[in-house]
Structure 1
Amino acid sequence: MLEARNLSVSIAGTPILRNAALTIERGTTVGLIGRNGAGKTTFMRTVMGLQKLSSGQLAIQGKYLTEAPAHTRAAMGVGYMPEDRRLIPEFNVEENILLPLYALGQKPDPARLRWVYDLMPEIARFADRKALSLSGGQQKLVALGRALIVGRNLLLLDEPFEGVAPALAQRLIEVIAALRGEGLSVLLSESDHVHSSKLLDRLYVIERGEIERAQLAAA
């Protein structure tokens, strides 16, 4: 589903990713674990086409996207949940969820929206509320819903549990676990894998922009 080969990225002349490599197979959930500043968000943004590569190759579903603009990812069924949520405060919940479809010039798919609401009934209950009025944890759920509205094949979830209350972190774990039965491929980043340990099929560790495969602890 995703293959990243020898990705190198520099920002303002400073190397951030160094020959980073990672593979995600269809229907698997993969963790990318690293301390703050290790390069997790840069890797996610690079996969999404939001950060320019210095060198390396990137392919999604066998299609090389090294030079492709960011919007091509959404059209390929890739959803992205950034660490800082990036909701539009003046839009209500449903408008934020549907935003990627509007950006692609596509009409909303009522069946897909119902599926998102069935998966997370709590956001359906405040669909008409402005994003500005929501708690940080509620905004995380809405950002996940926005990623899911287009993410039919691959989801990139950057620090989904960061800064949320334990109860909401547990709710996010439940939702992500439910996606395993949907055939989605998921890349999930965390500073450690305390929350995600039972969700992962494969684990990678990133340190100073370099990625290594790690062994998952036995259940």
Structure 2
Amino acid sequence: MLKISNLNVSIQSVDILRDVSIQVDTASMAGLVGRNGAGKTTLIKSVMGILKPKSGTIEFDGVDLIQTPVNLRNRLGIGYMPEDRRLIPDLTVEENILVPAWANEQIDAHKRLGYVYDLIPELRAFAPRRGQQLSGGQQKLVALGRALMIGSKLLLLDEPFEGVAPALAQRLAEVISRLQTEGMAVIFSESDLQYSEHLVQKVYSIDRGAVTERPLKPRL
């Protein structure tokens, strides 16, 4: 599904990612684990086209992403949930969820919105509320719903559980766990795997821009 090979990314002449290679298969989940500043967000932004790699390859579902314009990547079925949620405060929950569908002129937006509401019923309950009226945890749910509007094949989740109360973090994990049964691939970018360790099939550690795969802990 997603294959990254020997990726190098620099920001203002500073090397951030160094020869990064990872692979995430269809219907599988991978954790990208590292401290703040290790390069996790840079890697995700490179996949989304927000940052341009210096060298290396990013292939998604047989498509060369580096050669694919940024505005076309979402149409490939890639959804992105940023760490800071980035909701538009004055829009309602439903409007925030629909933003990527509007941007991509998604013809099945209403059907997909129904799918998101069925997956996360809480969103339907506070759909009329404005983004600024939500708690941090509720905003995370909305950001996940927004990513799912176009993320039908791959989800990139940047710190999805950070700053969320334990009960709501467990709820987020429940929702995400259902996606694997639908054939979706997911990458978690996290400082630890407290809530997602039981979900992932691969774990990659990132430190100072270098990535290594590490073995999973035995599951009881």
TM-score normalized by structure 2? Answer: 0.97
Matched residue, 2:163 = 163
C-alpha distance in 1, partners of 2:19/2:150?
29
Matched residue, 2:107 = 107
After superposition, give the CA deviation of every residue in 1:164-211 in whole Å (9 maximum; x if it has no partner).
111111111111111121110111111011111100011111110011
Bigger drift between 110-119 and 16-25 goes to 110-119
Letter of the structure 2 residue corresponding to residue 167 of structure 1: A
Q: Do the aligned partners of 1:157 and 1:186 also contact (CA within 8 Å) in 2?
A: yes
Bigger drift between 3-12 and 61-70 goes to 61-70
Matched residue, 1:6 = 6
C-alpha distance in 2, partners of 1:57/1:107?
31
The Cα shift of 1:161 comes to 0.3
Alpha carbon RMSD of aligned pairs, Å?
A: 1.0
The Cα shift of 1:123 comes to 1.1
C-alpha distance in 2, partners of 1:156/1:88?
20
Query: Deviating runs (4+, > 4 A) in structure 1?
Result: none
SS at match of 1:30: strand
Superposed, which structure 2 residues align to 1:93-172 within 5 Å?
93-172=93-172
The answer as to 2:63 corresponding to 1:66 is no
Q: Percent identity?
A: 53
After superposition, give the CA deviation of every residue in 1:25-54 in whole Å (9 maximum; x if it has no partner).
111011101111100000000000001111
The Cα shift of 1:108 comes to 4.7
After superposition, give the CA deviation of every residue in 1:44-69 in whole Å (9 maximum; x if it has no partner).
00000001111111111011111322
Letter of the structure 1 residue corresponding to residue 23 of structure 2: T
Where in structure 2 are there 5+ consecutive unaligned residues?
Answer: none
Q: Do the aligned partners of 1:98 and 1:108 also contact (CA within 8 Å) in 2?
A: no
C-alpha distance in 1, partners of 2:152/2:109?
12
TM-score normalized by structure 1? Answer: 0.97
The Cα shift of 1:73 comes to 1.6
